[in-house]
Structure 1
Amino acid sequence: MADTTVFRASTTAPVNIAVIKYWGKRDATLNLPTNSSLSVTLSQRSLRTVTTASCSAVYPASEGDTLTLNGKPQDINASKRTLACLVSLRSLRKEVESANASLPKLSSYPLRVVSENNFPTAAGLASSAAGFAALVRAIANLYQLPQSATELSRIARQGSGSACRSLQGGFVAWRSGTKVDGSDSLAEEVVPASHWPEMRALILVVSAEKKDVPSTEGMQTTVATSPLFATRAESIVPGRMTAIEDAIHKRDFPAFADLTMRDSNNFHACCLDSEPPIFYLNDVSRAAIRLVNDINRVAGKIVAAYTFDAGPNAVIYYLDEVSEVVAGTFKAILGGLDGWDGPFGDRLKSVSAGVDLQKLDSRAIESLKNGLSRVILTGVGEGPIEVDTHLVSETGAILSSDEQ
């Protein structure tokens, strides 16, 4: 009698926001980066992807592997990146089965993967990073693979470059590597979240719309046409990686902040140096930059750092001890927006502006008031977490969010 068991494993995975940016590939097929990068893993209490990976002998072979994202079936065969991840994970499961003949042959069963984000997809919030990290971690758990998060990062990298950094918590470096096969291009945790738990992040969501120039297309354009980019990859980033890792180990926020802002500016300068130029920042983004600089000036020291990925949303890093000065000031301006009441919002419930708003750029204040849709208040957090709440039932049925 055929085994009718539905094998399941579920995990959550975090978003990460780079402070030393990944931009440009030396191998597009293997997703090998031109330069190393470093990111902060954000708390899953605020932003996360939940993924259930399941397989069973009773799943129709004709159906093949399937992926459902936010309730919508995806054409898994149209995504070479997803298929590359599945091939690699199946190969590792086959090794486990070969070493122990008593194990069920899960590698031969069709996969049914269901994933949900609690944030907009393709809106500059690194949804693909959390998504591929969750997919790889969930299937690795389903297959009971022995590989470490760093070893699995090679697989997640093939799905989405920055996904390799979402497989771990705290502060994570993605080493570019030099080998042609990409075996040394992997992510490793520099320090865990517990090393610098006071790190906070305020995300100013400018738009939930998809960006005009997708990241992959933008990278190709920049690498092919920007003279400034070669200088960035070869001369600027290596030194910054060393310096920011040193700042993180020492918990030196002014040094961390200065490097973060400089690297964001340099990355977007490379985008502008492309032909045609790529504009990820808009007037609202520039208003956020102005206000961060104003807050630092009024505070008399660097207490906040802005960074922007390939999109207009500002991510502002600061330490919990200056929450009133940084987040409190933004809340005084943007208190009517959603997002202030999350798990990191208690400190700001009865706080007024930490600095005199009269000393800030009035045009920048108006631009932010008119140009933002919401805020996300969060902090540094952990890597993927295995959970018992599944998006696939014991019979293999895909569950809606209210059926879980």
Structure 2
Amino acid sequence: MISEKDFISTSHSNTIEKGTYEWSAPSNIALVKYWGKKDHQIPANPSISFTLNHCKTITKLSFEKKSTSIDINETGNSFSFDLLFEGKPKEDFKPKIQKFFERIEVYCPYLKEYHFTIDTQNTFPHSSGIASSASGMAALAMNIMNLEKALNPTITDDYFHQKASFLARLGSGSACRSIKGNIVVWGKHKELDGSSDLFGIEFSSKVHSNFENYQDTILLVDKGEKQVSSTVGHDLMHNHPFAEQRFLQAHHNLSAIKSVLENGNLEEFIKIVESEALTLHSMMMTSMPYFILMKPNTLEIINKIWKFRNETKIPVCFTLDAGANVHVLYPENVRVETLQFIKDELVGYCQNGQYICDEIGFGAQKL
């Protein structure tokens, strides 16, 4: 059993004065949702997600040893970094990175030896309502592990990816599902060997051909800032009257979707995925304080999808994250008909008619 202590970097054999790495990491969309967490970003229940392909964060990490590039007296024994978003300084992002570095310091003590320049950009529109924390923290974690690998070349590829997922989790829980694999499980589950609360793992079973190149068209219903942060939302599960039943439901649904991904039963897939989406939002609506993140157009889209599926028998379904946007999921072999339906009947409910066509991807990549 891997523990947190296994990820503490105690020594390194190499000395690196300066360098630059660049990684991309994708967003992901959970099929069985994680909502509620314990201390240290530990999930209250397991989750499983599709890794996306086109919605990515690209992060370049440049670094120089403090003693050679910066007056070490200025920075002292603290973290030193500049943060750029799309090439321009982004001061309001810095506190989140500072907090992330503080959380991972015990596992990556070498971070204080360097001054970093973090230059990041998204392939999807900024403030589109698509969560960028998962892809952003995953891309940063891969860069950090690239530095650790240079300092200690003996670490294995498995350790590299496990620790990257572990570090990403400490920045944003769902970021641990954006490191490696097209379908990723995070959270301990009795039927999934190697599953862990500490990091995400690739779904190890053979996946049915029905789910190859599965499509995700993201309808941008509301691009505004969420009225409630995910952190606050997760915390509200601590005293939630239905929390324990929800956590049991997630375990049950993960067992069920494991079988579905193996046997290709699209009807059961739709039932589980849509139920999970609505359960996530019902948890928000029944917490104290309570809140509603869906918008009227979210509900219009859901009803249109149900009507279309009933009339055509095309296996298209929806899922939602903690926001108003709708992810329309469907097999590749019905792509033409589904995209026509989206253009004809759903785009009108999107803010400024915006939507993004995506599909299952394979995780982070070095550029």
Task: Write the distance in 2 (CA, Å) between the matches of 1:172 and 1:85.
Answer: 24
Q: Residue 248 of structure 1 corresponds to which residue in structure 2?
A: 261
Contact 1:136 1:155 (8 Å CA) reproduced? yes
- The 3 A distance-change label for structure 1 pair 329 and 11 is same
**Equivalent residue number for residue 17 of structure 1:** 29
1:49 — aligned with what?
57
Query: Which of 81, 85, 93 is the matching residue for 1:69?
Result: 85
In the alignment, structure 1 residue 213 sits paired with structure 2 residue 213: no
- Which one of 34, 52, 69 corresponds to residue 59 of structure 1? 69
Matched AA of 2:69: Y
Residues 51, 114 of structure 1: 8 Å contact kept = yes
Per the alignment, residue 128 of structure 1 pairs with 133
| CA-CA distance at 1:175 after TM superposition | 1.2
Using the TM superposition, give the Cα deviation of residue 221 of structure 1 relative to its aligned residue in structure 2, in angstroms: 2.2
1:149 is matched by which residue type in structure 2?
H
Alignment of 1:212-291 (within 5 A): 212-224=227-239, 226-233=240-247, 235-291=248-304
Which deviations, in whole Å up to 9, do the C-alpha atoms of 1:117-137 show, x marking residues without a partner?
Answer: 122456542200000000000
Which of 175, 186, 205 is the matching residue for 2:187?
175
RMSD: 2.7
Judging changes above 3 Å, is the alpha-carbon distance between structure 1 residues 173 and 4 closer, same or farther for their aligned structure 2 residues? closer
In structure 1, the gaps of 5 or more residues are 95-105, 338-367, 388-404
Structure 2 counterparts to residues 4-403 of structure 1, below 5 A:
6-27=18-39, 30-43=40-53, 46-57=54-65, 58-60=68-70, 61=72, 62=74, 64-70=80-86, 71-74=88-91, 76=94, 79=97, 81-84=99-102, 86-88=104-106, 90-91=108-109, 108-121=113-126, 123-144=128-149, 146=155, 147-176=159-188, 184-191=197-204, 196-224=211-239, 226-233=240-247, 235-300=248-313, 303-333=315-345, 368-369=348-349, 371=351, 373-387=353-367
How far residue 77 of structure 1 moved from its aligned partner, in angstroms, is 5.0
TM-score normalised per structure 1: 0.75
The structure that has the greater radius of gyration is 1
**Count of aligned positions:** 330
Unaligned runs of 5+ in 2: 1-14
**4+ residue stretches of structure 1 with deviation over 6 A?**
192-195
2:148 maps to amino acid: Y
CA contact (8 A) 1:81 1:158 kept: no
SS in 2 for 1:227: coil
Which structure shows the bigger proportion of residues in helix conformation?
A: 2
Say if 1:124 and 1:309, in contact at 8 Å, map to a contact too.
Answer: no
Identity %: 26
Name the SS for the 1:276 alignment partner: coil
Cα separation, partners in 2 of 1:86 and 1:193, compared to 1, 3 Å: farther
SS in 1 for 2:137: helix
- In the superposition, relative to structure 1, how do residues 153 and 88 fare at CA in structure 2: closer, same or farther (>3 Å)? farther
